[in-house]
Amino acid sequence: MQKFSQEIRASLPIGSSIQWSLGAFYTDEKFDSDWTVYANDATSGSRVGSLLTVIGPATYKESAAFTNLAVEFTDRFDVQIGGRFSSVDETFSSTRYGPLASIFYGSDPSIVPEARAKDDAFTYLLTPRLKISPDMMVYARLASGYRPGGGNINCNVEVPCEFNADTSENYEIGFKGTLLDRTISFDASLYYIDWKDIQITLFDPTFGVTYEDNAGSAASQGVELSIEARPLGGLTVAAWVNYNDAKLTEDLPANSLGNASDGDRLPYSSRVSGNLSLDQEFPLWGDAAGHVGTSVIYVGERQGAFQAGAAPRSTFPSYVQWNLRAGVRYEHWSLDAYVNNVADERSVIAGDGELGANLVNYTRPREIGVSIARSW
């Protein structure tokens, strides 16, 4: 993958109550989605050839200009408004060859000529805030979202070679503040997201390939609560919990290979998720300080991709992951160690049709690591 990105920002204060910022962004990316299915000898396990090779070169260019205006009307009330205009230029193609190419794609070799997609998008942000007291604030947020479309390297007579951009309107109201001389801080919010042409992953059972497509309209609504406390010197206790109801708000298009109706839950969305962490800092010697910490992550039950015909969707059970960490800081140096997934639990996050027959994707196994860093 080759990538060049550059962003320029400027901040321009206007008097004492207005802050204006503007900027520009550019990225030029070239990447290949190349993969091969090899054939192995059933007795020795040695590689004896390849069954399928897929080569999918693609490029992505984006130019954008953005601006933001923050206006403080009083010492208790301010408003932030912003906008971004983006221009996206993409190319993608695909070449598939090998004994399985004719089965999955209809011919060997199977070539998808280079296609080009251009799109322009404008997104905006409006956030008013009101300070009820020096330690309490209510806020609202109205924003729009945009994701560019792209190409499917697995396209065939049933799977489209391109999928479109999707957009969203995001609404949020919240209440945040601190208590007990700032030893406790919290943030609670309600949100609603209205999706148009939402992008989802579907599975083609005839050819055994996954692909991206647009699924019409969907909505996601819920509540989030986070809290952080410092009850003792050097000790930080933090937690967050999220309830999310994400579902389609119309049936999948008639020409879609997936089968889903208005009200069906969106793939891989859990209704409840959360995190609890504890971190303790302590002095060691001189300017050196140490820290230890742990966190527990919970992800609720999820449903898999929408299936074709009457095939049932996969259900992935909820799971809990426990992580540990510790480290030392001394002047400009830091030494950190971690153990992720301490219990080495193998929780399923995808599979049973979404990835192909008898393929399952698990959470990462127990992972132990050490890092050393120096700052300048």
Q: What pLDDT tens digit does each residue of the chain (376 aa) get?
A: 899 999 999 999 998 899 999 999 999 999 888 888 888 888 888 888 888 898 989 999 999 999 999 999 999 999 999 999 999 999 999 899 998 888 888 888 888 888 888 999 999 999 999 999 999 999 999 999 999 998 888 888 788 888 999 999 999 999 999 999 889 999 999 999 999 999 988 877 777 777 889 988 999 999 999 999 999 889 999 999 999 999 999 998 888 888 889 999 998 899 999 999 999 999 998 889 999 999 999 999 998 888 877 778 888 899 999 999 999 999 999 999 999 999 998 888 876 555 455 567 788 999 999 999 998 8
> Do 6 and 50 have their domain in common?
yes
User: Is there a domain that residue 93 lies in?
Assistant: yes
> Do 71 and 206 have their domain in common?
yes
Which domain-ending residue is among 214, 244, 274? 214
Nearest to 348, CA basis, from 369, 366, 362, 367:
362
- Number of domains making up the chain: 2
Tokens 């800092």 identify what position? 281
Instruction: Locate 258 and state its tokens.
Output: 């997936």
Euclidean distance between CA atoms 353 and 317, whole angstroms? 16
Instruction: Locate 147 and state its tokens.
Output: 């994701």
* Residue 196: domain span: 1-214
> Do 258 and 327 have their domain in common?
yes
User: Is there a domain that residue 224 lies in?
Assistant: no
| 194 close to 247: Cβ distance less than 8 angstroms | no
User: Is there a domain that residue 221 lies in?
Assistant: no
The H or E element that residue 23 is part of is strand 18-32
| 5 close to 26: Cβ distance less than 8 angstroms | yes
> Do 195 and 242 have their domain in common?
no
Instruction: Look up residue 265 and give its DSSP letter.
Output: B
> Do 102 and 129 have their domain in common?
yes
> Do 315 and 188 have their domain in common?
no
> Do 79 and 164 have their domain in common?
yes
Which domain-ending residue is among 214, 245, 264? 214
Euclidean distance between CA atoms 245 and 221, whole angstroms? 5
> Do 255 and 164 have their domain in common?
no
Which domain-ending residue is among 156, 185, 214? 214
> Do 171 and 238 have their domain in common?
no
> Do 16 and 157 have their domain in common?
yes
- Across 160-189, b (16+ Cβ under 10 Å) vs e yields bbbbbbbbbebebebebbeeeeeeebebeb
> Do 46 and 193 have their domain in common?
yes
Cis ω for the linkage preceding 109 (within 30 of 0): yes
> Do 65 and 101 have their domain in common?
yes
| pTM of the model as a whole | 0.85
User: Is there a domain that residue 28 lies in?
Assistant: yes
